Amino acid sequence: MIAPILKGDKIILKPIDLKHAAIRHKWYTDPKVSQYQNFGNVSLRGLRRGMIERRKSKNYLGWMIFTKGNVLIGEIQLRNIDFNNKSGLLSINIGETEFWGQGYATEATRLVSNFFFNKLQLNRIELDVFSKNIGAIKCYQKCGFKKEGIKRKACFKKGKFYDLILMSLIKDEYSKGKK
């Protein structure tokens, strides 16, 4: 599915396009940006191939995050969208580190959550986050996500296992938080 353009106060979300492959690859291979991501080793060719496949999928929506000044700073995706169970998986990556901690991820998460619940009429968004990624956890909590549990030693990175926190947001809770 091709994602629609979504506009917020500070950002504009535009559909992911093949022209974004090189910048995404740069982020995925940057040690600082990828420290809390579970990308694995991905080649630019492999990334492009995956982008083409996902674009054909009815279970995927992806956006690039631009500031209102048209600076590309990250990406946000809804994956594994299950229309039968009305659920999906959220992932976000602010690839330009100078934009960390300024509310861009929070606004992107809120825009996509609103689209997910009100336009797609789905019920549950989930995500997992590295237990040490305190900034992301705070962002998700600000957006109404609740901790469901810990996936113990679920990610192997740089010779070490890491815990992932499973979080979710349910439509009813999201709607109550909007009032």
Q: Which residue has the tokens 């825009």?
A: 111
For the sheet containing 146-157, what is the strand order?
6-7, 11-15, 61-67, 72-82, 87-94, 124-130, 160-170, 146-157
Place 7 in a pLDDT band, splitting at 50, 70 and 90. Answer: very high
Q: Is residue 33 part of a domain?
A: yes
Return the percentage of the chain with pLDDT > 70, whole number.
97
Domain-located, residue 147: no
Please give the tally of structural domains in the chain. Answer: 1
Mean pLDDT over 38-54 rounds to 83
Q: What is the pLDDT of residue 70?
A: 95
Q: Could you tell me if residue 135 is inside a domain?
A: no
**141 in helix, strand or coil?**
helix
112 within domain boundaries: yes
Residue 114 lies in a domain: yes
Question: Would 101 be classed as within a structural domain?
Answer: yes
Give the C-alpha separation, 156 to 74, whole Å: 24
Q: Is the pLDDT of residue 175 over 80?
A: no
Q: 174: closest CA among 115, 133, 90?
A: 115
Q: Judge whether 25 lies within some domain.
A: yes
**Residue 166 CA: distances (Å) to CA of 3, 51, 106, 109, 140:** 25, 25, 18, 16, 11
pTM of the model: 0.92
pLDDT tens for each residue of 138-154: 999 999 999 999 999 99
Check residue 177 and give its pLDDT: 62
Report how far residue 55's alpha carbon sits from residue 45's, in angstroms, rounded to the nearest whole number: 16
Q: What is the pLDDT of residues 151-169, one digit of tens each?
A: 999 999 889 999 999 999 9
pLDDT of residue 179: 47
Q: In b/e form, how buried is each residue of 118-127, taking b as 16+ CB within 10 angstroms?
A: eeeebbbbbb
Cβ neighbors of 53 (< 8 A, separation 6 or more) are none
pLDDT of residue 40 exceeding 70, the answer is no
What's residue 63's pLDDT? 97
- 11-35 pLDDT, tens digit per residue, is 999 999 989 999 999 998 888 988 8
Alpha helices by DSSP H, listed for the chain, are: 21-29, 31-34, 44-56, 104-114, 134-142, 171-178
- 93-127 pLDDT tens trace: 999 999 999 999 999 999 999 999 999 999 999 99
Q: What's 54's domain CATH number?
A: 3.40.630.30
Identity of the residue numbered 78: L
* Confidence grade of residue 68 (pLDDT, cut at 50, 70, 90): very high
Is residue 178 predicted with pLDDT exceeding 80?
no
CA distance 103 to 22: 25
Determine, yes or no, domain membership for 39: yes
Q: What is the mean pLDDT of residues 38-44?
A: 77
Q: Which domain holds residue 101?
A: 6-127
